[in-house]
Amino acid sequence: MIGQISRDEVRSAIEDKLCAHFGVTGENAADDQIFQATAIVIREIMSRLLAAENPTRAEKEVHYMSMEFLMGRSLMKNAFNLGISEAVTGALEDMGRNATDIFECEPDAGLGNGGLGRLAACYMDSMATLGLEATGYSICYELGMFRQKFENGQQTESADNWRSAAESWLVSKHDEAVEVRFGGHISPRWDAVGHYHAEHTGYTAVIAVPRDMLIVGYGGNDVNTLRLWEAHSTNDLDMYRFSSGKYVESLEQRSMAEVITKVLYPADDHTEGKTLRLKQQYFLVSATAQDIVRKHLKKWGDIRNFAQHHTIQINDTHPTMIIPELMRLFMDEHGLGWDEAWDIVRNSVAYTNHTVMSEALEKWPQDLVQNLLPRLWEIMCEINRRWCDYLVASFGQGEKVGRNLIIRDGQVHMANMCLAACYKVNGVSRLHGEILKNDLFKDICSIRPERFTHVTNGIDHRRWLAQINPGLHGLICELLGSDDYLTKPERLGELRAYASDSEVRRRMQEIKHDNKRRFADFAVRNDGFTLNTDAIVDVQVKRLHEYKRQLLCAMSIASLQLQLHDDPNMDFLPRTFVFGAKAAAGYKTAKRIIELLLSMARDINNDPLCKDKLQVYFVENYRVSAAEAIIPAAQVSEQISTAGKEASGTGCMKLMMNGAVTIGTLDGANVEMYERLGDENMFLFGLHTDEIEALRRKGYDPAAIHRADPEIQRIFNRFSQGFSDGKSYSDLVSQLLYGGDQYMLLADYRAYADCQKKLYQRISDPGELARLAIMNTAESGVFAADRAIEEYARNIWNLK
């Protein structure tokens, strides 16, 4: 536990780092240098805490593997967890600096795309806070998720070089680098006693260098590590080519190695992109497997007790190749036989699934795997052969065997490999868990039901409430008599008693209005947008995907504008719709939806009949720090995905925790939110999963709904004719009317519009809106990441 550190001590330490690292004083240092020096001070405090820990304290360690860790900014988060945030802020002010300006110098660590990466970041915080010995493993991408720009009303993507300003958090460990091999050939060799040996020749080697980011738990008692692997060439320069004047060619080997960790999720709509993605995945799992095994042998000495001391949790299928890679290490490097190695692997690896859509389950072309990873291919084939024998013994010959094979139809199916090897498979909400058991993985669940479970996602409530919403945090501490909800989030339930208290309601209104003013300041800085702080802030912030149905919200907004044109004097509660979303660079429909939203926003925001009544604000370059500005200000949370398509969702939890009232479908974590909130405090609409399936079986005709609903006709005419910029969106309309409306927008529109009207009628009473805010915060404690990690530890990792 860190002792008390004064602001004077922090100031002295910052000034010392400025002098030692940058050759400047506190008076003439730039803000960016001040930030980096402060980060170094905090990193060194965490390093000392880590060095003081007992390295043998845990009998079992957790290794959390994820292609994404969306960490956001770390300076204030680490200072908060260490208990020195006031000292840091005071020290910066004593140096004549605006602390907020210094914090704004830090770039978001964009090592993720959305909920998957943000979940991993929240779990790292909770594992450290709860004292679990855990290491996160991912890739040290040079360029994170792209920087989104809006140009000519469209999304464009540019490189997001987060690392140059974040070097202060990263510590290179060159002495723990490992070699990862690609390509080449496998030559079989049999020894005198008949054991098979695989000799790998002709391969290309890449060096994986760990860059460690320290994660301190709340209270400063424990520090864990997020190990990020960076790719380096075995040969920085081909001197022969360089001496011949072939300067570009002389760097080719280095460039081909370093491209592996250049960017998160390279486009894979071509062979080169697929190859690079597969390289990234194997680079992560091979480096990680070697690292875990090396540390195990150093600590425990015997490879055979590996499963007793390690749990490897793979966050989605991206790290699935840890399964054959561990088999390779155990057999080829440590001399174990197949059965002994398999027994260790199947008791060490657990799999978290993050999708309910079978088409989204990851698969790789067989020839690509075979050529790029020849030894792993051999091992995968043997796993598949034995798995096939098991399936035939369980089901007999038939389609159940075929659809569950790891290798079929010229592809390697990663989820099926997880089903074959992992001792636990979990969904990320109760509904999702049931879908896995009864639909997506029903065949395997019927013969291995004990392996399937669920852990509803959770969020870091210390960051997503206490840090980003200090006004609400202060009120909670005052009402509960202490701040111990920070480690006991279930205490938020005690706020229910204050839902009818007029003074507490008034305080909630004040806090929300202050947060809206802060969000308005952000909107000006980020986009030059002038937010109406007297309007309801209605928020839909999440990855742009058709199933998340931002287009459904757009339909409603278009209708509201038309209604204001029909009757400018109608009774209308002012509202601002806020969107934040990035579309994958190659996802054309998602990018068209962004284009439509931007066209509509420009039209409405310049429409005199909508002035002071209706606004649309699309936040450019949505990221963690943007979410931290938006979420405390939100009053309505749009969670309107097609039922049965969202595995869980965590944005819904953050918004709920900050007092936003949810309008949503019975999907993902909304189900568990609704169980706690009920109809009185949450607004549900739309078809349920079974109703959607029944409608599709019966024959769903979106065009018939369109013909029968004049309001939808007017909306689609508006989309087709275009807004003030003259762009037509008839292509999106045609997809819905004649393309099957896969995500049921027309089927749910009438229910959505009616529910939205009901919601706005209720919240037109400020006291009722405040009551709803109190109740949402009060019921949100169960969605804390601490609860989720305790469930993982107890039910999956078997930790005390």
Predicted local confidence at residue 658, as pLDDT:
98
Q: Which one from 97, 118, 548, 771 is the annotated catalytic residue?
A: 548
**Count of CB atoms within 10 A of residue 428's CB?**
30
User: What are φ and ψ of residue 635, in 5° steps?
Assistant: -115, -25
Task: Record the pTM.
Answer: 0.94
In Å, how far are 287, 372, 493, 785 from 138, measured between CA atoms? 10, 21, 36, 20
Q: Calculate ∠ Cα 575-578-584, nearest 5°.
A: 155
H or E segment to which residue 618 belongs: strand 614-619
Tokens (6 digits) for 459: 């969020």
Q: d(Cα 534, Cα 532) in Å, to the nearest integer?
A: 5
Task: Say whether 163 is catalytic.
Answer: no
Q: d(Cα 102, Cα 96) in Å, to the nearest integer?
A: 11
Work out the pLDDT band at 42, boundaries 50, 70, 90. very high
Exposure string (b/e) for 67-86, b if CB count within 10 Å is 16 or more?
bbbbbbbbbbbbbbbbbbbe
H or E segment to which residue 787 belongs: helix 785-791
Q: d(Cα 795, Cα 558) in Å, to the nearest integer?
A: 47
What DSSP state is assigned to residue 579?
A: E
- Region 59-66: mean pLDDT is 96
pLDDT tens readout for residues 496-518? 999 999 999 999 999 999 999 99
Reference 74, options 486, 628, 527, 525; nearest CA is: 628
Tokens (6 digits) for 686: 């739309």
What DSSP state is assigned to residue 140?
A: -
pLDDT tens readout for residues 205-218? 999 999 999 999 99
Residue 589, pLDDT above cutoff 60: yes
Tokens 């080169």 belong to which residue? 272
- Region 297-325: mean pLDDT is 97
Q: Which one from 211, 543, 582, 718 is the annotated catalytic residue?
A: 543
Tokens 């875990």 belong to which residue? 292
Contacts of 572 (CB under 8 A, 6+ apart): 563, 564, 613, 614
pLDDT tens readout for residues 605-626? 999 999 999 999 999 999 999 9
Range from 247-251, 467-471, 741-745 carrying the lowest mean pLDDT:
247-251
Tokens (6 digits) for 515: 């947060």
Reference 87, options 10, 180, 164; nearest CA is: 10
Predicted local confidence at residue 725, as pLDDT:
95
**Mean pLDDT, the chain, as a whole number?**
94
Predicted local confidence at residue 502, as pLDDT:
97
Range from 56-70, 74-88, 237-251, 718-732 carrying the lowest mean pLDDT:
237-251
H or E segment to which residue 80 belongs: helix 75-82
In Å, how far are 181, 234, 241 from 249, measured between CA atoms? 22, 16, 7
Q: d(Cα 323, Cα 285) in Å, to the nearest integer?
A: 9
Work out the pLDDT band at 81, boundaries 50, 70, 90. very high
Contacts of 203 (CB under 8 A, 6+ apart): 181, 182, 183, 184
Q: In what order do the strands lie in the sheet with 575-580?
A: 614-619, 575-580, 536-541, 636-639, 661-664, 683-684
Q: Which one from 129, 650, 662, 777 is the annotated catalytic residue?
A: 650
Tokens 């400020």 belong to which residue? 766
Task: Say whether 654 is catalytic.
Answer: yes
SS3 state at 468: coil
DSSP string, 255-303: HHHHGGGTBSS---SSHHHHHHHHHHHHHHHHHHHHHHHHHHHHHH--G
- Quote the crossing angle between the two packed helices 710-721 and 550-566, to the nearest 10°: 100
Q: Give 3-state DSSP helix, strand, coil % of the chain, rounded to 5.
A: 55, 15, 30
Q: d(Cα 744, Cα 767) in Å, to the nearest integer?
A: 35
Predicted local confidence at residue 112, as pLDDT:
81
Task: Say whether 688 is catalytic.
Answer: no
Work out the pLDDT band at 57, boundaries 50, 70, 90. low
Predicted local confidence at residue 466, as pLDDT:
97
Residue 54: burial class (beta carbons within 10 Å; 0-12, 13-18, 19+): exposed
Residue 250, pLDDT above cutoff 80: no
Q: d(Cα 545, Cα 536) in Å, to the nearest integer?
A: 25
- Quote the crossing angle between the two packed helices 710-721 and 745-763, to the nearest 10°: 100
Predicted local confidence at residue 247, as pLDDT:
67
Residue 56, pLDDT above cutoff 80: no
Task: Say whether 262 is catalytic.
Answer: no
Work out the pLDDT band at 166, boundaries 50, 70, 90. confident
Q: Calculate ∠ Cα 650-652-656, nearest 5°.
A: 120
Percent of the chain past pLDDT 90, that is, above it, reads 86
- 34, 97 in Cβ contact below 8 A? yes
SS3 state at 426: strand
Predicted local confidence at residue 108, as pLDDT:
87
- 118, 652 in Cβ contact below 8 A? no
- Region 587-604: mean pLDDT is 97
Reference 110, options 151, 177, 157; nearest CA is: 157
Q: d(Cα 112, Cα 109) in Å, to the nearest integer?
A: 8
- 31, 97 in Cβ contact below 8 A? yes
Q: Which one from 118, 512, 542, 549 is the annotated catalytic residue?
A: 542
Predicted local confidence at residue 197, as pLDDT:
86
Residue 1, pLDDT above cutoff 60: no
Residue 402, pLDDT above cutoff 70: yes
pLDDT tens readout for residues 660-671? 999 999 999 999
